[in-house]
Structure 1
Amino acid sequence: MEIQRQTKRGFILVSIMLAMFMAAIEGTIIATAMPNIVAELGGFSLFSWVFSVFLLAQAVTIPLYGKFADIYGRKPVFTIGIIIFIIGSFLCGFAKTMQTLILFRLVQGLGAGAIQSIAMTIVGDIYSLKERAKVQGYISSVWGFASIFGPALGAFFVQYIHWAWVFWVNIPIGIFAALGIVVFLKEDIQMQPHEIDYLGSIYIFISISVLMIVLIQAGTVWKWLSPQVLSMFVAFGVGITLFIFQEKIASEPIIKLELWRDPAILISNIATLTTGIVLIGISSFLPTYVQGVMNQSALIAGFSLGVMSIGWLISAALAGKFVLKYGFRKIALWGGIWIVSGSIFFVNIMPNRGWVWGAIGSFLIGIGMGFTRTVFIVAIQDSVGWEDRGVATASNMFMNILGNTIGAALLGGILNMRLLSYFKSISAGQYSLDLNVVNTLLDETKRSQLPQELIQQITTGLSLSLKNVFWGVLFFSVVSLFLIFLLPQHKVES
């Protein structure tokens, strides 16, 4: 299969950027709206599941979609993914409970798995290596651009219309993106018999699901050394072992393990996972800190997160140019240093320092993400031929989403465990404090009816718990920087 010459690259790129914008804005716009959604639907204890289940479905389907794209062509698989994502977005807006919202987010995630990986694959198909470095910078900039408007748009919807529109805004964007790909992308597909590694997909789905449940529930619902947790760790180990064995014997595995023998691919993918944990830690929990602890509006919370995009936008555009001159490792190191610097701001955040402190940390991390993520994807695509580019790109997207999934579950579990421990250690008089008391804190009307002393106790507990989350972010930032030091020094040939 090859892309035909009559493909109109400009229109294709616009369609890809629309689809990427839809996927990118989904993260930031929901993060800003989540405190308001929790206030209306309740279920703060299920907070992490809204992110985790979406990411789980995305992580599991990314390798499959990458394989489907190599077999059946980019166009049909990409279009089907957008359609599923639109259906999920439509349903999310009608959710009446946190449980139904989580279910519809699962549907959304099943479609989202096709968008990121195949979009990047199409870019790799229609642009040369020299062009690709710059275009990948533009694609990465879409995430930054979405981060500017996502938080502000989410704040506008929840304050002046309804939170359902944070999901429904995807519908027109997705329709235009799908139409652009259907009309303008021309592929010459030579159908050949292939085998899909469904068994490998089942193993990885079970493994990640079990790990996610453990990270969220352990320490709150179950004790860490309880039979439930220990049995799930065993199940995770067995599932991963079976997955690796299956990928070695499968004729067409969903993840080609031999590609990971290349140091550039191995290090880029692992560092993508760790930076994915950092990214979800900030985007998921900073708005909650600004609204719940600092008692600021959704608009302010959105802006404090959105400034990450400004740094991302600038550095991603620069990375596309600098990587051609200075090589992969040097540019990625710049990014790693910025990420650690931003994370240090978050472990020193305090209510009296105001939301600007968090905004500065977001900006610094955004700079780092723009540099590192652009380098990772270009390095991976530069290491393989066309026939493996879909699988290789999908492997990087998979590791990114896997990092997001682990981060949402792990950091959400830390938040719940620390907050529950704090509530048990204090006396709240006539009030019985549990995790869902935060629902009241995030609802402005209900919050105003609480005694000031109780509000202070809850906000203190939330502040201390979120500080633990930010320490986790710093840890994975340092790990990411260490991994980048191991990235091979390689310059892209002109």
Structure 2
Amino acid sequence: MSQLTIAQSGQTEKKTQRPFVLAAIIVSMFMAAIEMTIISTAMPSVVGDLGGFSLYSWVFSAFSLMQAVTTPIYGKLSDLFGRKPVFITGIIIFLLGSILCGLAKSMVALVIFRLIQGLGAGAVQPIGITIVGDLYTLQERAKIQGFFSSVFGISSVLGPLVGGLIVQYTHWSWIFWMNIPLGILSIIGVILFLHEGIEKQKRSIDYAGSGLFFVSITSLMIVLIQGGVKWSWTSLQIGSLLLVFALGAILFFLWERKASEPMMPLDIWKNRFIATANAATFTSGALVIGLTSFLPTYIQGVMGHSAIVAGFTLTVMTVGWPLAALAGSQLIMKIGVRPTAVMGGIAAFTGSLFFLTLDPAKGAIWAGTGSFIIGIGMGLTSITFMTSIQNSVDWQKRGVATASNMFMRLLGSSVGAALLGGILNMRFNGFLSSENNSLGGAVSMNSIDQLLNSSGLQQMPEKEMQIVQSGLTIALHSVYWGVFVLAALTMIGTLFLPKAEKQDMR
């Protein structure tokens, strides 16, 4: 018997209004999508105001890391206590973090508040998708999630543009505060229209596993960001952190094997489709964060365009994503999961070539074209992975299975932001100590802060600005090599998907 059942009989069934519940979830997804794309476009302005470019990637990593840690927990909590209370709690925490982020006075404070925001965000998207999986049949779900992705994409389209307008005409803090009315609307909709029955049973949450995972992954992220920058790769600090990571990872897997209610049930990874899809989701998550985190810096810092133009280059990706997701929901039923996913992998790889060949002379249109093609790839792969994973397990494990895929995407985002941010910092520091830096110590990492600050840029000497832009171009080109490798791995992952899923999806 299931641990939790969305009410399906008697009086309770009449109270659950699927269209209104779907609308409430869409609002929350709008909030999440707006958040991710607005912060990407606004970050150069945030750095120009708060300073601390060396912590740039932590603003993304902190949010994604906390999401990654809490998503499996929320998935398990939703299977035990119900989707509704967990979903509402997550939104409330997310809104608290949003308020604090808008009040941040330093980059360190912003990173801390992003952790709080991520703590709540871990429930918003995965539980929302799980609720949709509960309320709709397989045939309905493929169509609903295609529509779901389309609406999610529309909100993402607005994000970069709104972010560019906000930082250009008001203050960047509004990119966080605009979440408040959206979150309140979503909470009201779920409270009024979603009703579920829960069977009473003993509860067990894997706090130990979550703690071990958090410590282990955080140690790895610090190594990736600070290695070769603040500390040498052979330093005691790096060695100690790597030891903590290794021990934490070993203890985590040992604990998960014996935990009564594991954070990440290892048995679901025995399902070949889930294991393969989640591996490809990890690399695609790192790929997307590589673009959304660092492309605005290239457009604004290297090409010298405005935040609105930078927003355009990300907007086109979020146009391609929902369009492809909508088409993918139909392709799944016609040609099967694997061919649809492979098409997405090829598109992501093709789009990455645009960034590998990107230079200031090619302009924002070249970058936007690559973003659009990658968006198509992400749309095709994400819809196939999520729909099929939910169909590969029974109801009792659907929350955990859904959360596992979200977990791998978020983990990919966390590690990807840390890895690519570390590459950026290391390559720029290497440039500073090379013969290409004719100004020597007059140029530092802080020079990037000044470059991204409109008032500071006006005071920067022409020679210094050219050197900083040159160093930033070299560093970001190394980042795009990383994006290329991640896209190649994603494409390879889709080729290893099982071939037998086509009939299951009809």
**TM-score normalised by the shorter chain: which range applies?**
over 0.9
1:311-460 equivalent positions in 2, closer than 5 A = 311-425=320-434, 426-429=436-439, 432-460=442-470
Counterpart-to-counterpart distance in 2, 1:103 and 1:150: 23
> Which stretch shifts more, 174-183 or 134-143?
134-143
1:482 aligned residue:
492
Counterpart-to-counterpart distance in 2, 1:435 and 1:358: 25
Pick the aligned partner of 2:5 from 2, 19, 31. 2
> Among the aligned pairs, what percent are the same residue?
50
Deviation, 1:144, is 1.9
CA contact (8 A) 2:281 2:412 kept: yes
SS in 2 for 1:93: helix
1:53 aligned residue:
62
1:101 aligned residue:
110
Task: Give the letter aligned to residue 75 of structure 1.
Answer: K
> Which stretch shifts more, 1-10 or 479-488?
1-10
Pick the aligned partner of 1:119 from 105, 128, 137. 128
CA contact (8 A) 1:38 1:439 kept: yes
After superposition, the C-alpha distances for 1:120-155 in whole angstroms (9 at most, x for unaligned) are 110110000111111121222233212210000001
After superposition, the C-alpha distances for 1:254-274 in whole angstroms (9 at most, x for unaligned) are 111111111110011111000
Counterpart-to-counterpart distance in 2, 1:412 and 1:75: 37
After superposition, the C-alpha distances for 1:373-410 in whole angstroms (9 at most, x for unaligned) are 00010111011000000011111111010000001000
> Which stretch shifts more, 418-427 or 137-146?
137-146
Task: Give the letter aligned to residue 172 of structure 2.
Answer: W
Deviation, 1:227, is 2.1
After superposition, the C-alpha distances for 1:201-228 in whole angstroms (9 at most, x for unaligned) are 1111111111111110001011112222
SS in 1 for 2:433: helix
SS in 2 for 1:216: helix
CA contact (8 A) 1:268 1:379 kept: no
CA contact (8 A) 1:342 1:364 kept: yes
Task: Give the letter aligned to residue 156 of structure 2.
Answer: S
After superposition, the C-alpha distances for 1:279-305 in whole angstroms (9 at most, x for unaligned) are 000000000000000000000000111
2:223 aligned residue:
214
TM-score (norm 1): 0.98
SS in 2 for 1:459: helix
TM-score (norm 2): 0.96
Deviation, 1:171, is 0.5
1:37 aligned residue:
46
CA contact (8 A) 1:24 1:142 kept: no
Deviation, 1:158, is 0.6
SS in 1 for 2:350: helix
Task: Give the letter aligned to residue 82 of structure 1.
Answer: I
Deviation, 1:415, is 0.2
Deviation, 1:61, is 0.6
Deviation, 1:82, is 0.1
> Which stretch shifts more, 425-434 or 366-375?
425-434
Aligned CA-pair RMSD: 1.1
- Give structure 1 regions of 4+ aligned residues with deviation exceeding 3 angstroms: 426-431
SS in 2 for 1:78: helix
Deviation, 1:431, is 5.5
SS in 2 for 1:343: helix
Is 1:463–2:466 an aligned residue pair?
no
Task: Give the letter aligned to residue 335 of structure 2.
Answer: Y
1:152 aligned residue:
161
2:99 aligned residue:
90
Counterpart-to-counterpart distance in 1, 2:94 and 2:414: 18
Counterpart-to-counterpart distance in 2, 1:184 and 1:143: 21
CA contact (8 A) 2:54 2:425 kept: yes
SS in 1 for 2:103: coil
2:307 aligned residue:
298
2:197 aligned residue:
188
Q: How many residues align?
A: 494
Counterpart-to-counterpart distance in 1, 2:31 and 2:476: 28
Counterpart-to-counterpart distance in 2, 1:206 and 1:455: 39
Pick the aligned partner of 2:269 from 250, 260, 265. 260
After superposition, the C-alpha distances for 1:417-446 in whole angstroms (9 at most, x for unaligned) are 000110111444486222121011011222
Counterpart-to-counterpart distance in 2, 1:188 and 1:151: 40
CA contact (8 A) 1:140 1:373 kept: no
Task: Give the letter aligned to residue 49 of structure 1.
Answer: W
2:80 aligned residue:
71
Counterpart-to-counterpart distance in 2, 1:429 and 1:274: 39
Deviation, 1:161, is 1.1
CA contact (8 A) 2:224 2:418 kept: yes
CA contact (8 A) 2:388 2:505 kept: no
1:250 aligned residue:
259
> Which stretch shifts more, 292-301 or 309-318?
309-318
Counterpart-to-counterpart distance in 2, 1:209 and 1:124: 32
2:25 aligned residue:
16
CA contact (8 A) 1:428 1:454 kept: no
> Which stretch shifts more, 219-228 or 105-114?
219-228
CA contact (8 A) 2:84 2:194 kept: yes
Task: Give the letter aligned to residue 53 of structure 1.
Answer: A
Counterpart-to-counterpart distance in 2, 1:312 and 1:447: 35
Counterpart-to-counterpart distance in 1, 2:266 and 2:109: 37
Counterpart-to-counterpart distance in 2, 1:493 and 1:375: 10
Task: Give the letter aligned to residue 423 of structure 2.
Answer: I
2:10 aligned residue:
none
> Which stretch shifts more, 230-239 or 472-481?
230-239
